[in-house]
Amino acid sequence: MPELDSVSVRAFACFLPKDLMDAWSQSGKKHLIGPVELYGVCLARCLWKDHILDRAIFFIDHGGVLAAMISGSSRDSTWRQILLKLEECDATNHCLPWYARVPSPSNLSDGPSRGEWSILDNCEYVRDHPRCLFLDVPLVPT
C-alpha cells in the first residue's frame, strides 16, 4: 500500500495545451466546455490514483459529463478518447466511484478551476501540478 501524507485535500487547476484544444476543435466542436470538464474529472482520478484507495465521490456540475462518467461511454469520439484514459487508470488502480451532480456555486473545485484559490484558505492542502494525459507535457497552472 502506498505511503500517504497527512494532507487530505489536494487540488490542481491548469490550462490545457493549445495543441490538444486545437485537435478537439477540429473535430467540429464549437463549444469545448464538455470535453474540458470531462478531462478535468478524468485527470483528477488519474493524478490522485495513489490517494484514492477504495472509494471516491466525484462532484460534477455538467450533466453530460455526469452521464458519461456514470456510463463510462459516450457517442462523441473525443469524449470516448478521454474516457479511455480513465479506463487505463482504473485497470491498474481500482476504485469504487460515486458520481454526483453539484451546482457550480456549491462545488469546491469551481473557484480553483477559475484561478480563484481563496476558498481553500481555511484548510491545509497540496496543490498538484499534473501532466497532460495525452501529450505527456506539464500542464501550465492557472
3-state secondary structure of 141: strand
Please state, as a whole number, how many other Cβ atoms lie within 10 Å of the Cβ of residue 74. 20
Assigned CATH for 10-19+31-141: 3.30.420
pLDDT of residue 1: 42
Q: What is the CA radius of gyration of the chain?
A: 15
pLDDT of residue 5: 52
Residues 46-69, mean pLDDT to the nearest whole number: 93
Single-letter amino acid, residue 48: W
- As a whole-number percent, the residues of the chain with pLDDT over 90 amount to 66
CB contact at 8 A, 130 and 123: no
What does pLDDT average to over the chain?
90
Residues 50-75, mean pLDDT to the nearest whole number: 93
- Ordered by start, the domain boundaries in the chain are 10-19+31-141
Q: Cβ neighbours of residue 79 under 8 Å, at least 6 residues apart?
A: 34, 35, 38, 68
Using the predicted structure, report yes or no on whether residue 76 has a pLDDT greater than 80: yes
Using the predicted structure, report yes or no on whether residue 64 has a pLDDT greater than 90: yes
